[in-house]
Amino acid sequence: MVIAALVITTLLSGVLASFLLKARDKDFAHEKTSLESLDTNEELRVLSCVYGARCARGELSLISSLSGSHGASKPFTPLLMHLVPLPKKRKSELLYHEHGEDVHVEEDFGTNESLMINDSIDSFAKDSKILIQQVKLVTQMVSMHEEICNATEDLRVNIVFLPFHKHQRIDGKTTNDGEHFRQMNRNVLRHAPCSVGIFVDRNITGFQQPHGFGSVQEVAVLFFGGPDDREALSLCKWFANNTLIHLTIIQFVPEDSQPESPIRNATTPDSGDLLIEVRGRNQTEHEADRSLLEEFHNRFVSIGQVGFIEKRVANGPHTLTVLREIGEMYQLFVVGKSRGDCPMTVRMKDWEECPELGTVGDFFASSLDVNASVLVVQKQRHSHDNFIDD
């Protein structure tokens, strides 16, 4: 009887322990990884990945713009991860430390870059009063995307920013930092459990860190429709709350589409009486696009805080013409990655050089006529996935 009681107790204890662990995982799970479902009054957690001081300066400009005009007046937690490729047959190390804390490791990989990154953060913190938690990731390139994806879950971030694999030289031309960084970006886009932004930093001619009213930055978010465009527009809620950022929404609509009222005000008497029958995915996406634009208009555009422009285009070549026209009007373009089968970008793929940026993002990143920086946003694709390179 004693042996039977011990066996039964052991079995019940295992089941109970498993149940409690699953309950704890659910309680601490970071469910709000989509910016579309996050309000500016809630905490925004951002992870900026860099592999050098040059990348860090551009990422700090983004952090400054998202934090608000006078520091982190809203709940905002920026984290910066220094990516250090590890020689083969060495074990990965992930080191967490607060800004200003010394870190000692057996072999200090990336020492010079770490010192320069720390200097940049010191200067940034002194000017902006924003504290940044630093993370140093030392791992092999083949598994770096996996470590980044795991870190996004551990750190409970809403979006991770990755540097583009090319950078602008002092003469304005671009240099490739290595195809291994490009493959890392692709793998993170494929497996990340949160939204991802790839930042094409043209620090000489493009987006700069806003310092005062004399350096107000012109930012445009391009909206064609779809989940990625909605996520890009949702990120711009934090840009809109920065008085040193002049944000403009540019919505592209088919030239042959029926004219619609720009945005239906949610406070009109009949706003709650309209019954919409949704048929199929395309109609659902259209209504989701419309709803987000209405929210943005009622909250920001109607009071003059954000500009709004509508561009009617016939096809991909027409869209390219419009993009070239506005290419020099802004310091930063925020675009969604996926265009799908959008008729407004048909035949634009003939010029694609970096498909991981999407059709429009690739045009801005590859065009010699555009000097602006570009932030390409992809909405969360997976909650958890197997890390298989394909």
- DSSP string across 103-127: ---SS-TTHHHHHHHHHHHHHHHHH
Alpha helices by DSSP H, 155-275: 179-191, 227-240
Q: Is residue 99 predicted with pLDDT exceeding 60?
A: no
Average pLDDT, the chain: 80
Q: Of 82-91, 263-272, 324-333, 379-388, where does mean pLDDT reach its minimum? A: 263-272
Q: How far lies 152's CA from each of 44, 163, 179, 193, 308, in Å?
A: 13, 16, 23, 7, 33
Amino acid 4: pLDDT: 83
Domain CATH number, residue 297: 3.40.50.620
Are residues 224 and 193 both part of a single domain? no
Which of these, 228, 177, 174, lies nearest to 356 by C-alpha position? 228
**DSSP letter (8 states) at residue 16:** H
Which tens digit of pLDDT belongs to each residue from 24-34?
A: 554 445 555 68
Mean pLDDT, residues 127-146: 89
340 found inside a domain: yes
331 found inside a domain: yes
Are residues 109 and 151 both part of a single domain? yes
DSSP SS3 for 246 = strand
Into how many domains does the chain fold? 2
Are residues 74 and 178 both part of a single domain? yes
Are residues 62 and 139 both part of a single domain? yes
Are residues 97 and 224 both part of a single domain? no
Are residues 225 and 193 both part of a single domain? no
The most confident of 190-194, 204-208, 241-245, by mean pLDDT: 190-194
159 found inside a domain: yes
The residue among 176, 200, 224 that closes a domain is: 200
pTM above 0.85, yes or no: no
Helix (H) or strand (E) holding 20: helix 2-28
79 found inside a domain: yes
Which tens digit of pLDDT belongs to each residue from 322-366?
A: 999 998 899 999 999 976 667 888 777 666 788 899 989 999 988
- Domain limits for position 317: 213-256+281-378
275 found inside a domain: no
Q: Of 123-127, 248-252, 296-300, where does mean pLDDT reach its minimum? A: 123-127
Are residues 192 and 217 both part of a single domain? no
Are residues 221 and 158 both part of a single domain? no
Q: Is residue 153 predicted with pLDDT exceeding 60?
A: yes
Amino acid 340: pLDDT: 61
Amino acid 144: pLDDT: 93
Q: Is residue 71 predicted with pLDDT exceeding 60?
A: no
Are residues 190 and 74 both part of a single domain? yes
Are residues 155 and 296 both part of a single domain? no
Amino acid 1: pLDDT: 86
CA distance 60 to 216: 16
Mean pLDDT, residues 101-107: 45
Are residues 146 and 242 both part of a single domain? no
276 found inside a domain: no
Are residues 250 and 357 both part of a single domain? yes
Confidence of residue 182 (pLDDT cuts 50, 70, 90): very high
223 found inside a domain: yes
Which tens digit of pLDDT belongs to each residue from 213-226?
A: 567 889 999 999 99
272 found inside a domain: no
Which tens digit of pLDDT belongs to each residue from 36-69?
A: 888 888 999 999 999 888 888 889 999 989 987 5
